[in-house]
Amino acid sequence: KAGVTQTPRYLIKTRGQQVTLSCSPISGHRSVSWYQQTPGQGLQFLFEYFSETQRNKGNFPGRFSGRQFSNSRSEMNVSTLELGDSALYLCASSRLAGGYEQYFGPGTRLTVT
Amino acid sequence: EDKVVQSPLSLVVHEGDTVTLNCSYEVTNFRSLLWYKQEKKAPTFLFMLTSSGIEKKSGRLSSILDKKELFSILNITATQTGDSAIYLCAVEPTGSGSRLTFGEGTQLTVNP
């Protein structure tokens, strides 16, 4: 069974631009969560989608948004990029929402210059 | 606010040693605790613990949860250089959806 895939794997953007990251969950998984990982803050929860609905949201500004499609694929968007948005963005999928193992994708390394 | 504290933050051992990694937590309405191994990019799932006192094992790795004292340990026996990684502990509360709160991680280095 294929794992979680994320595209692109690397991205370089400049301040003020916007970016869209994509995540395809493991086949049969319906919940997708997004996390930001930085050296200073560690892994922090961004949001979770299940059945095309946002179920949970972390403490991030409104510049961070996401959506989920009917095939469970998810996208995350960051608008008006800031230098501090440079991070590894990880998505994780689980079979259902809550109480199931979450499996992570390889991540997208975003660098904002 | 949910909180996870891991110790030690860094550990250097020799091949063959046994290590114990610690994870203590504070969470409103605990549902589960998860351990992950992160080598280069994606954290790899190791264990999910929901019940107190029941040990989960996978090869040389094992983990146990104490819900009364709010902690978990991850044991690795007969360590190998391939065990070198960051080990992450996370907790998930009950309620709708999935939302993990992670600790800082323990950086384990196994020298030959």
Query: Tens digits of per-residue pLDDT, B15-65?
Result: 999 999 999 999 988 999 999 999 987 899 999 999 888 899 999 999 999
- Closest partner residue to B98 among A43, A48, A104, by Cβ? A48
Can you give the pLDDT at residue B94?
A: 86
**Chain B interface includes A88 (CB < 8 A):** yes
Can you give the pLDDT at residue A84?
A: 96
Identify from B41, B98, B102, B104 which residue to disrupt to test chain A contact, counting A C-beta atoms within 10 A and taking the largest count: B98
What is the rounded distance in angstroms from the CA atom of residue B109 to the CA atom of residue B8?
A: 12
Q: CA nearest B83: which of B72, B95, B74, B71?
A: B74
Identify each DSSP E strand in A1-113 by its residue range. 5-7, 10-13, 19-24, 31-38, 42-50, 53-57, 64-68, 74-78, 87-94, 103-104, 108-112
- Closest partner residue to A48 among B44, B97, B103, by Cβ? B97
- Closest partner residue to A102 among B100, B104, B105, by Cβ? B100
B96, A94: Cβ pair inside 8 Å? no
Q: CA nearest A56: which of A37, A35, A77, A79?
A: A35
Chain A residues close to B34, C-beta within 8 Å:
101-102
- Closest partner residue to A90 among B42, B92, B98, by Cβ? B42
Q: Tell me the mean pLDDT in the region A106-110.
A: 97
Quick one: pLDDT band at residue A100, thresholds 50, 70, 90?
confident
Chain B residues close to A33, C-beta within 8 Å:
98-100
Joined tokens for residue A70: 């009917």
What is the least distance, in Å, from the CA of B36 to any CA of chain A? 10
